């Protein structure tokens, strides 16, 4: 199949999807079980894979440069742009909040092709988020996923207020409420406690909701960690 920017070309994908559909009709549930296993066993194509611990170090080193205003702006040259146009090998995947103050590539001082970033309000795990992260790990070879929440998250604040919301905003907030319930009886900074609880909850949900990610975790080929960004200082702290 032809690939464009790391993705299968549309024409080839449609042909592939047609074959998948015919096979699924013919073999039923047994086909999908086999297909799921096959996807989980996809070999990574990265020529220089980065292990999870080194990936965390790269991120935290970059964050320290950002805090100290000594950014290197790595991998942002025209030469590198042309290089990653041919293929992408992100060394880490980030599930972050859509908040405009938390752009992952900037706060971690990274460049083109370094990070596979999925952003949604409240860094909430959903089926589309899981699918994107399964792609980043099984196809692109990322061995680290960071669930990145942040201080004074508006989505978490709405979950704490527990009031009706217009449109589909409420669907996002519903995905945060279970974590808020965990901290209701605590004393102290309930807002920050809820932010941390939500990061931990989404991290656990990500691990428990994907057989593909669970398999990689059990094989020691993937690490998923939570992290919290301080919008006042710019610092990222890993949540244990």
194-209, pLDDT tens digit by residue?
A: 999 999 999 999 999 9
* Calpha distance 176→58 (Å, rounded): 29
Residue 114, pLDDT above cutoff 50: yes
Average pLDDT estimate for 124-149: 97
Which domains are present in the chain? 52-238 (3.40.1050.10)
Average pLDDT over residues 120-126: 98
Q: What is the mean pLDDT of the segment spanning 45-65?
A: 93
pTM score, whole prediction? 0.81
- Residue 237, classified by CB atoms within 10 Å of its CB into exposed (0-12), middle (13-18) or buried (19+), is middle
| CA–CA–CA angle 14, 15, 19 (5° rounding) | 115
Q: For residues 104 and 148, is the Cβ–Cβ distance under 8 A? A: yes
Does the annotation place 150 within a ligand binding site? yes
Mean pLDDT taken over the chain? 86
Is 153 a known ligand-binding residue? yes
pLDDT at 47: 79
Q: Residue 32 above 60 pLDDT? A: no
Is 80 exceeded by the pLDDT of residue 67?
yes
Q: Is 99 annotated as a binding residue?
A: yes
Q: Judge whether residue 159 has pLDDT over 80.
A: yes
């Amino acid at each position: 199949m032809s690939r464009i920017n790391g993705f299968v070309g549309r024409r080839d994908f449609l042909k592939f999807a047609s074959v998948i559909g015919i096979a699924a009709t013919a073999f039923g549930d047994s086909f999908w079980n086999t297909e799921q296993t096959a996807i989980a066993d996809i070999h990574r194509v990265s020529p220089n894979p980065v292990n999870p611990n080194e990936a965390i170090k790269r991120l935290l080193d970059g964050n320290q440069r950002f805090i100290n205003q000594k950014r290197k702006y790595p991998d942002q040259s025209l030469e590198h742009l042309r290089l990653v146009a041919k293929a992408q090998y992100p060394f880490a995947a980030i599930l972050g909040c859509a908040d405009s103050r938390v752009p992952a590539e900037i706060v971690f001082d990274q460049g083109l092709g370094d990070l596979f970033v999925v952003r949604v309000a409240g860094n909430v795990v959903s089926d589309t988020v899981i699918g994107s992260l399964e792609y980043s790990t099984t196809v692109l070879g990322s061995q680290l996923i960071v669930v990145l929440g942040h201080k004074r998250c508006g989505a978490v604040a709405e979950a704490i207020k527990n009031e009706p919301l217009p449109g589909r905003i409420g669907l996002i907030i519903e995905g945060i409420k279970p974590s808020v319930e965990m901290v209701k009886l605590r004393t102290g900074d309930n807002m920050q406690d809820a932010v941390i609880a939500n990061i931990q909850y989404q991290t656990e949900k990500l691990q428990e909701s994907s057989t593909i990610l669970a398999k990689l975790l059990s094989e020691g080929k993937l690490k998923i960690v939570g992290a919290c960004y301080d919008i006042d200082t710019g610092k990222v702290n890993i949540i244990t």
